[in-house]
């Protein structure tokens, strides 16, 4: 099966990721010429699985790009919160030993 698609439909990175996930035996060929991307394989089921995975990866990459700022904000707040908690934790209490018995000094 040989299929030509417009280069603007899928991100090139999405096609490469999909190929690395689906095509372990190197049966899919991706060739870029001008405004088209040619995808060829002898296995129709493999081709359909590849196109489905390419769509999945393109959507994942698109959502990551759109949500990058909020992801960065949440990560920054989580790290800042973790650092703040570490500094605010109580110091451990000293342990005094008398007659081989352990007592916590408070």
Choices 3.40.50, 3.90.1210, 1.10.287, 3.30.70: CATH for 2-67: 3.30.70
Q: What confidence category does residue 96 fall into, taking pLDDT thresholds of 50, 70 and 90?
A: low
Q: Phi and psi of 39, rounded to 5°?
A: -115, 125
Cβ atoms of residues 13 and 59 within 8 Å: no
What digits encode the pLDDT tens for the residues 64-94? 999 999 999 999 999 999 987 655 555 666 6
**Residue 102, φ and ψ in degrees, nearest 5:** -100, 130
Strand 29-33 vs strand 2-6: parallel, antiparallel, or unpaired? unpaired
Model confidence band, residue 102 (pLDDT cutoffs 50, 70, 90): low
Mean pLDDT estimate for the chain: 86
Q: DSSP 3-state assignment of 97?
A: strand
Where along the chain do its domains lie? 2-67
């Amino acid at each position: 099966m040989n299929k030509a698609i417009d280069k603007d439909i899928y991100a090139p990175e999405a096609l490469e990721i999909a190929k690395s996930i689906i095509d372990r035996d190197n049966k899919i060929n991706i060739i870029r010429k001008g405004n088209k991307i040619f995808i060829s394989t002898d296995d129709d089921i493999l081709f359909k699985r590849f196109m489905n995975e390419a769509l999945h990866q393109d959507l994942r990459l698109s959502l990551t790009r759109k949500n990058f700022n909020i992801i960065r904000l949440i990560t920054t707040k989580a790290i800042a919160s973790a650092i703040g908690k570490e500094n605010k934790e109580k110091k451990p209490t000293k342990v005094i030993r008398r007659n081989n018995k352990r007592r916590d000094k408070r």
